[in-house]
Structure 1
């Protein structure tokens, strides 16, 4: 027999889908409470649109050719197409826009999970507000989602792309040199960072400062104090001022205890320009959400508009949280019937469905799981019975409907 299973994708069965539904419902409720409007962009986008972000590897995208010979890709990122949509539809750069989404992301991944080719992601994007209250709200939304899902051991690592960018100001470095420095700082590879910086034409002061940045992580108070001591110009000071203001906003929300600082993690995606963050849960090694400010992305689509947002990996959340626990009573009634009683069984099923009770109907001759039903009703020649483990409890349609409604007990 031919094996048609594709490595890196995952079939979703009933229990998994219930888990996804519960997670999606919780996430969508939080989005709505904070005023974000749901939108959806196409699965397909033009390949060239992603050329602006060199961090999205072209080799990891799934490509195809349209009838006009243009190269298209399945959506490898949610933020860029939403930014395109916002710029194409809402031309006024002063207008504030708040969007939410739950969608599928398609790209190759090196993780050990079952979704290395696609995964479900939710997120919010906030356009038109450059203030710290915008970044604070975005992080508050992220934390609230995790808390509402019952995750308690969570923390958000906040960084600032503009802090290191400020250090780069006035230094004659190529794009590839900055990219390499970012990579070594991100990986906290101090040995290779020393060797690499030693080959560059930079001052001793900048050399020493860059070597300290990978270790700028931990509690807000401790890291902010050390970072202030490393500031060499106004741009670095302004970057820290913004982080400080966002932290004050989060304190008003009462969420400051979930915040750590990490200026050693850098610009994950090329379009991030300011505050960046990652979220972690339940001692899970990989970040479960990430986001940040991207003030320069929108103008590539013709509208100069500041923005910030984040995406949360719902597929990874499913692995952490597990399957839906309360799926036993997903449906109301399963009707089992003897062949000669088909007419009575169908009439009973129609009556229950008209009353908005979910009702399944199966001939007794078939093997069929009776899990996930509140009640199993037996329609037989000698009457109607409620199946209760190994017992059959006589009933009538009227009495059974009272039981379903909760007016009387079984």
Structure 2
């Protein structure tokens, strides 16, 4: 009788794992191009780190355990918070950090996994429209790097909703309920919700309009200005105009829509917030925003902005769209040799590896029933040596000629 094991994780097939590695490498490379350095946080975190901070992960979503000393610890449910604490406590000199780490949360339903991979960036110490726009532009460039041709970055500002809420006589529970209604654009229930409150007509109009403030930045800014109830809301609109101006300078304006009804479940966001969607995939593949007040909960004022890419979602979306295929997992070069040519083959393999190529070596006899798909194939035969690439066959005399052929083929393709 076979033992039964309850699957609680998300074990990737080897094929998907290789695709995930390729995808992650692309994202990390883009982070590098913007001047970010990699960092790491512990998988196990103090429960109090999250439970004591306002606007973080819900307690019921954390995966908890007890350490030998009896303290409650959690598997890391969020990366931004420990990185922020690290910046404050260690006074890190580098203020542009990125990470690729696992995040653990108790899923709300059985279709979600307890563990997922997140790749994200955090920028500390800068608080300008230029900095916000750069972060959004980086998100656009990542989706382009991953070969998504149809996608949108939805941009909002946490302050606009918070300033509007301040005009309403709401309890904490009522405020949370209204957030859910606006986030889901549930106009049917928003109106009766407001009727139960003693609210002036301009405020009612503004709240009812908020879910519909979606579309081109120019239109949203114009419509938002018409319902702004106070100076702070006007200032928020002006700030978004400045952010969009810089996004236009980056040349990414066609990927941008404004959605002032966008509300992030992480309430520590204080300024610009955004999330990215790709065509034919219903979940946001990346999200983030400005969180200027988070560091104050560790005793220091430190403005910051960041975003995270959900690697699992990007993998699913890329496979569904055909952007990630088996060619992304092919070995770079497989070298087959006859036994009499083993010295030449292994010498060539070492030379190519030192030059940065990925090389697998196989004896012809051992590989008769185990051909490995690859981008380049090399044969070291008794009478001749051959390079195969894209249905072409090229003969070479020595390792120098082989290396030159490889460079030419890689440059031309």
Give TM-score, length-normalised by structure 2: 0.84
**What residue number does 2:240 align with?**
243
Distance 1:327 1:150, change over 3 A: closer
8 A contact 2:216–2:257 mirrored in 1: yes
Which of 200, 205, 210 pairs up with 2:202?
205
1:1-400 matches, within 5 Å, as 1-4=2-5, 6-13=7-14, 15-51=15-51, 52-54=53-55, 56-90=57-91, 97-109=95-107, 116-169=113-166, 171-322=168-319, 323-327=324-328, 330-335=331-336, 347=343, 350-357=346-353, 358-361=359-362, 364=365, 368-372=370-374, 374-375=376-377, 377=379, 399=397
CA RMSD for the aligned pairs? 3.2
Distance 1:375 1:170, change over 3 A: closer
8 A contact 2:210–2:260 mirrored in 1: yes
Residue 108 of structure 1 deviates from its aligned partner by: 3.4
Deviation per residue, 1:206-248 (Å, 9 max, x gap): 2232111111111112111111111111111111111111011
Deviation per residue, 1:6-39 (Å, 9 max, x gap): 15513241x3233223322322222122111211
Gaps in structure 2 of 5+ consecutive residues:
354-358, 409-413
Gaps in structure 1 of 5+ consecutive residues:
none
8 A contact 2:167–2:203 mirrored in 1: no
8 A contact 1:327–1:372 mirrored in 2: no
Greater alpha carbon shift after TM alignment, 163-172 vs 150-159? 163-172
Specify the SS of the correspondent of 1:292.
Answer: strand
Residue 386 of structure 1 deviates from its aligned partner by: 6.8
8 A contact 1:334–1:370 mirrored in 2: no
* Count, aligned residues: 393
8 A contact 2:287–2:309 mirrored in 1: yes
Specify the SS of the correspondent of 1:355.
Answer: helix
Deviation per residue, 1:323-346 (Å, 9 max, x gap): 344357514234476xxx5xx676
8 A contact 1:328–1:374 mirrored in 2: no
Distance 1:162 1:328, change over 3 A: closer
| CA–CA separation in structure 2 for the residues paired with 1:407 and 1:223 | 55
Distance 1:64 1:363, change over 3 A: farther
**What residue number does 2:356 align with?**
none
| CA–CA separation in structure 1 for the residues paired with 2:371 and 2:10 | 27
Residue 282 of structure 1 deviates from its aligned partner by: 2.4
Deviation per residue, 1:140-183 (Å, 9 max, x gap): 11111111222121111111110111112254322222111111
Specify the SS of the correspondent of 1:332.
Answer: strand
Distance 1:209 1:187, change over 3 A: same
Distance 1:31 1:370, change over 3 A: closer
Deviation per residue, 1:260-318 (Å, 9 max, x gap): 11111213211111111111112322111111111110111121111111111122111
Give TM-score, length-normalised by structure 1: 0.85
